[in-house]
């Protein structure tokens, strides 16, 4: 088993993709700033649901990073420098530990809003060779410590207990010509139940529900130039309660720039990720 520094490909490259979608998609229910009570409920629900989304992306990045000998994380960690990469070497079984508290290869904090250590076990079928091929994995994650997630906008904090984990599928295809000419396509799917503790403004809440997510992305170099694309859809259905106050929240991600939020039966949207930061005061970790 290997212990990996946190890779930055998924988080940093997804942030780049999200920054491109900042227009109004039109249609749907009320938009703009919601009532404060609805925003507060959605902040807690989103923070709880993000524990699944972030864990899935970080563990997928770790599998790709191992199979490409670090090529898929080199753009974010080196600022796009023309660092050479070794031929790809995807294996049928893989066990790594993602340390969210270790710096990346450039010394930066790739996941400044996550703390803890996550074990990743992937097993499946691999066809092809170093030059081209396909892999289909069943991935199982398990927290070796408590996983602590902090929303960078509202400050709500979710804690996932040590020993809990996530199961999902991951598919990968690759083409390798040389260190400056290669491509990787990947997709992951999961549907997971979540029970986490959320702390917000000194109060403790329990969040229960389900998170569904489909992500497809590609990273490529051609003559050293990078091409990156993302597509994410999913839905989070979360109930948050402090024992006396209870709210039901659904966050429906139809596309990176078309997200609906329903709080206690009232639907708002569509929004982009940046509009959610502005009006709802949380980061929608899709």
Q: Give the pLDDT score at 172.
A: 98
**Cα of 198 vs its chain's centroid, Å:** 19
- pTM as predicted: 0.85
Q: Give the pLDDT score at 11.
A: 46
Bridge partners, residue 95, by sequence: 121
Give every residue of the chain whose pLDDT is below 50, as ranges.
5-27, 77-81
Q: Give the pLDDT score at 12.
A: 46
> What is the distance between the alpha carbons of residues 276 and 159, in angstroms, rounded to a whole number?
23
Domain residue ranges of the chain, discontinuous segments joined by +:
2-279
Q: Give the pLDDT score at 29.
A: 64
Listing DSSP states for 248-268 in one string gives EEEEEEEETTEEEEEETTEEE
What value does the CA radius of gyration of the chain take, rounded to a whole number of Å? 19
> What is the distance between the alpha carbons of residues 54 and 252, in angstroms, rounded to a whole number?
17
156-185 confidence digits (pLDDT tens): 999 999 999 999 999 999 999 999 999 999
């Amino acid at each position: 088993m290997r212990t990996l520094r946190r890779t930055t490909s998924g988080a940093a490259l997804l942030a780049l993709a999200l920054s491109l979608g900042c227009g109004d998609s039109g249609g749907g229910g009320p938009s703009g700033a919601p009532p404060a009570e609805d925003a507060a409920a959605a902040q807690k629900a989103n923070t709880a649901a993000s524990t699944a989304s972030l864990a899935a992306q970080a563990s997928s990045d770790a599998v790709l990073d191992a199979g490409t000998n670090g090529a898929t994380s080199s753009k974010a960690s080196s600022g796009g420098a023309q660092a050479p990469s070794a031929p790809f070497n995807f294996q049928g079984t893989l066990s790594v530990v993602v340390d969210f508290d270790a710096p990346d290869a450039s010394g930066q904090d790739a996941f400044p809003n996550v703390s803890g250590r996550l074990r990743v076990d992937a097993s499946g079928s691999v066809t092809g060779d170093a030059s081209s091929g396909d892999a289909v994995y069943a991935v199982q994650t398990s927290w070796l410590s408590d996983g602590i997630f902090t929303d960078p906008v509202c400050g709500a904090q979710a804690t996932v207990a040590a020993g809990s984990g996530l199961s999902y599928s991951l598919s990968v295809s690759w083409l390798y010509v040389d260190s400056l000419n290669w491509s990787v396509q990947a997709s992951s799917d999961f549907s997971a139940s979540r029970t986490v503790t959320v702390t917000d403004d000194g109060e403790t809440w329990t969040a229960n529900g389900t998170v569904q997510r489909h992500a497809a992305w590609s990273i490529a170099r051609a003559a050293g130039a990078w091409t990156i694309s993302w597509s994410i859809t999913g839905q989070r259905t979360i109930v948050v309660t402090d024992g006396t106050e209870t709210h039901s929240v659904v966050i429906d991600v139809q596309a990176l720039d078309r997200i609906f939020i329903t709080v206690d039966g009232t639907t708002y949207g569509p929004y982009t990720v940046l509009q959610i930061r502005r009006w709802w005061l949380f980061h929608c970790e899709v």
